[in-house]
Amino acid sequence: MRNKILITGGAGFIGSHVVRLFVNKYPEYEIVNLDKLTYAGNLENISDIDKAPNYSFVKGDISDEQFIDDLFAKNDFKGVIHLAAESHVDRSITDPMAFIKANVFGTVNLLNAAKKYWKDDFEGRRFYHISTDEVYGALGETGFFYEDTSYDPKSPYSASKASSDHFVRAYMNTYKLPIVISNCSNNYGPNQFPEKLLPLAINNIKNNKPIPIYGKGENIRDWLYVVDHARAIDLIYHKAEIGKTYNIGGHNEWTNIDLIRLLCKVMDKKLGRAEGESAKLISYVTDRAGHDLRYAIDASLIEKKLGWVPSLQFEEGLEKTIDWYLDNQKWMDRIVSGAYEDYYKNMYKDN
């Protein structure tokens, strides 16, 4: 059987880095990228590999039953790496149903197709579901999320991801579907849609616009460079035992305000501004409803079992990220017009 792998959400932020890594590293595989191209999907993210002989793109919706059934009928996928999802917490607060459709219904639809078409031959196959640390809920000032931490999702986004994780595990328990799951902390890096904190702040600093900080900026996130997440996904896909879950994180916790202060400092240098200039743009705005205080991952299992560690120190990763956004102004300009402007005005209208 030719090693054909379906990657969903490959035109998005993390998915594009995973597709690139697999296409370049495994010329003997056939990588099929399935993406609906929602507002967050952008084929520009993978334009460097779209002519590769081992790559193809299919536009479609994971929650479309007939379409997914046809795709599995036509293709004998050896594996699925499932990243397609609605991914932004703030949008989930405005429109939870969109998250149920994409994240819950879409995932179950893929599971059903894998179950139907792989049924008599699970050998050598795997269904790898990419999830988030947000399913574990929120931490206080101490402690970490472990693989066996109880689920306690608190936003519509994390509730939809938690639900999809439960379905993935239930399909292994009930139908013996060969599954693997990983739960990762906040990613940063090139190609992230500028509704998320870091690209939004980089773009606003560049354009001398206020940097919106929710509440007092005391919420804590554990940041990981996106390429290190893609490396972990590669290792888990190839090496993890069936049925296992791995937590992935950067050992890199920052309060939002300290992170933005550091960003401002680096941006001052990059833009040739006087020190302290960009930080004047910091603007405290209304807090996110139900804002999770802290996420922090204990990633010792993947380190011990699979030998994965983050390759970049945060300061280095942050600098690479800033350079990428400054060097790819056209990518940003194409995004921050039209529908994005409407989203932005509506999202930050009360401040």
Where along the sequence are the contacts to ligand NAD (CB under 6 A)? 8-9, 11-15, 35-38, 40-41, 61-63, 83-87, 102, 106, 130, 132, 161, 184, 186-187, 193
Residue (200 or 281) nearer to ligand NAD, CB: 200
Residues 235-274 binding ligand TYD (CB under 6 A) are: 256
127 DSSP β-pair partners: 80, 179
Minimum Å gap between C-beta 222 and ligand NAD is 10
Q: Of the candidates 200, 248, 296, 318, which one interacts with ligand TYD according to CB under 6 A?
A: 200
157 catalytic residue (yes or no): yes
Residue (70 or 275) nearer to ligand NAD, CB: 70
Q: Which range touches ligand TYD (CB under 6 A), out of 36-44, 136-144, 167-175, 213-221?
A: 213-221
Distances (CA, A) of 138 to 41, 99, 147, 188, 287: 28, 20, 15, 20, 16
Place of tokens 């574990």: 136
Q: Residue 64, class by beta-carbon neighbours within 10 Å (0-12 exposed, 13-18 middle, 19+ buried)?
A: middle
Residue (134 or 278) nearer to ligand NAD, CB: 134
Q: Residue 66, class by beta-carbon neighbours within 10 Å (0-12 exposed, 13-18 middle, 19+ buried)?
A: exposed
Q: Which range touches ligand TYD (CB under 6 A), out of 111-119, 210-218, 261-269, 271-279?
A: 210-218
Quick one: what does residue 158 bind among ligand NAD, ligand TYD, none, with the CB cut-off 5 to 8 Å set by partner type? none
Q: What is the dihedral of CA 103, 231, 140, 210, to 10 degrees?
A: -80
Tokens representing residue 337 in the block:
């017009």
The active-site residue, picked from 55, 117, 128, 157, is 157
Residue (137 or 212) nearer to ligand TYD, CB: 212
Residue (84 or 322) nearer to ligand NAD, CB: 84
Cα 117 from Cα 126, distance rounded (Å): 13
- Contact between 226 and ligand TYD by CB under 6 A: the answer reads no
134 catalytic residue (yes or no): yes
Phi, psi of 127 (to 5 degrees): -110, 105
Phi, psi of 97 (to 5 degrees): -60, -35
Minimum Å gap between C-beta 40 and ligand TYD is 12
Distances (CA, A) of 329 to 13, 21, 235, 333: 16, 24, 33, 6
Quick one: what does residue 213 bind among ligand TYD, ligand NAD, none, with the CB cut-off 5 to 8 Å set by partner type? ligand TYD
The active-site residue, picked from 35, 134, 147, 222, is 134
Q: Are 273 and 267 in contact (CB under 8 A)?
A: yes
Cα 27 from Cα 29, distance rounded (Å): 5
Binding site residues, ligand TYD, CB under 6 A: 89, 186, 196-197, 200, 212-214, 219, 221, 256, 288
Residues recognised as catalytic: 133-134, 157
